């Protein structure tokens, strides 16, 4: 079996080693005999969203978001159809913000978003920086956030998880990220997937399920990754309790 994984705008959206997420997806495929086909695509490139299994968008600065918005907007219809069809999308920080209605920069100027999910982002007065622990489906995600934007979810829009440590979407409502169909938006860099192998497998399972194939993934030896994950969770949550 082959999985088509697209890293969109790797030259513009790749903060704090976001590319590591692609490496993890590819490695976890290979270790199970699944062949990952990695496509890197940027401004002006031809894309077939419907033919993709996983689309990855990393984080970037306001400047980079403004640079790619036009290119992204011309792909809106096709991307929207693929998302409605179950395309698995992982979007981090700047990429996450671009899925929403707009990002209002500190200058007051708005960068238009795809509007695929009813969320919007407004630059706050101070950066939300640091390690994060999020609870999702009785498990935890660990990561690192650094954003000025405060993201708000429209009515009925589901967050990805609950913030146990850190700021999350806006530092006010204890919510982190967004989940819409098979789209996962989050502020967690780090990169996210090496620190959270169970989350990487969720993305792979959803992508395989969309293909109509058997989704049971072969177990991998994640003891080291899980240990690293647990160390971070314990270290951070201890600070909450103290
Ligand atoms: N420009 C956005 C912000 O600061 C995104 C930053 C990022 O992707 N780390 O909110």
Q: Is 93 marked active-site?
A: yes
Minimum mean pLDDT range among 26-30, 147-151, 158-162, 237-241 = 237-241
Which pLDDT belongs to residue 122? 98
212 vs 210: CA distance, rounded Å: 5
Phi, psi of 96 (to 5 degrees): -65, -45
- Mean residue pLDDT across the chain: 96
Residue 241 has pLDDT above 80, yes or no: no
- Average pLDDT rounded to a whole number, residues 114-132: 97
Mean pLDDT of 226-236: 96
How many angstroms is it from 60 CA to the middle of ligand 1? 6
Residue 145: pLDDT band (50, 70, 90) is very high
pLDDT at 215: 82
What is the reported pLDDT for 65?
Answer: 92
What pLDDT digit, counting tens, does each position of 57-83 carry?
A: 999 999 999 999 999 999 999 999 999
Catalytic residue among 7, 147, 167, 189: 189
The fraction of the chain above a pLDDT of 90, given in percent, is 94
Arithmetic mean of pLDDT, 167-194: 96
Residue burial 186-213, b: 16+ Cβ < 10 Å; e: rest? bbbbbbbbbbbbbbbbbbbebbbebeee
In this structure, what are the phi and psi dihedrals at residue 156, rounded to the nearest 5 degrees? 80, -5
Specify the pLDDT at position 38: 98
Q: For residue 109, give the CATH number of its domain.
A: 3.40.50.880
pLDDT band of 190, cuts 50, 70, 90: confident
| Cβ of 15 below 6 Å from ligand 1 | yes
Q: Is the pLDDT of residue 92 over 70?
A: yes
pLDDT band for 242, please (50, 70, 90 cuts).
Answer: low
Residue 169 has what pLDDT?
98
Lowest mean pLDDT across 35-39, 63-67, 202-206: 63-67
User: Ligand 1: which atom is nearest the Cα of residue 127?
Assistant: 4
> Backbone dihedral region of 138: left (phi > 0), alpha (psi from -120 to 50 degrees) or beta?
left
Across the range 108-134, mean pLDDT stands at 97
Q: Which atom of ligand 1 is nearest to the CA of 96?
A: 8
Indicate if ligand 1 lies below 6 Å from the C-beta of 148: yes
The pTM assigned to this predicted structure is 0.97
Residue 206 lies in domain? 2-214+221-241
pLDDT value at 121 more than 90: yes
- Number of domains composing the chain: 1
């Amino acid at each position: 079996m082959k999985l088509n994984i697209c890293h969109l705008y790797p030259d513009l959206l790749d903060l704090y080693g976001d590319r590591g997420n692609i490496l993890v997806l590819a490695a976890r495929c290979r270790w199970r005999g699944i062949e990952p086909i990695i496509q890197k695509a940027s401004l002006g490139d031809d894309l077939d969203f419907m033919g993709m299994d996983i689309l990855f968008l990393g984080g970037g600065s306001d400047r980079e978001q403004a640079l790619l918005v036009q290119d992204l907007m011309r792909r809106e219809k096709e991307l929207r159809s693929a998302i409605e069809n179950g395309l698995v999308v992982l979007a981090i920080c700047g990429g996450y913000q671009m899925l929403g209605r707009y990002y209002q920069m500190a200058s007051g100027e708005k960068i238009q978003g795809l509007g695929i999910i009813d969320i919007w982002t407004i630059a706050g007065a101070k950066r939300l920086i640091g390690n994060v622990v999020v609870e999702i489906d009785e498990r935890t995600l660990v990561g690192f956030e650094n954003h000025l934007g405060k993201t708000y979810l429209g009515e009925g829009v589901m967050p990805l998880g609950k913030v146990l440590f850190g700021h999350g979407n806006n530092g006010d409502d204890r919510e982190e990220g967004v989940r819409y169909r098979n789209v996962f938006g989050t502020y967690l860099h780090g990169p996210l997937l090496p620190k959270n192998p169970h989350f990487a497998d969720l993305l792979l399972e959803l992508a395989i399920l969309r293909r109509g194939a058997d989704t049971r993934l072969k177990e991998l030896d994640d003891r080291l990754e899980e240990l690293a994950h647990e160390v971070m969770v314990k270290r951070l949550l201890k600070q909450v309790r103290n």
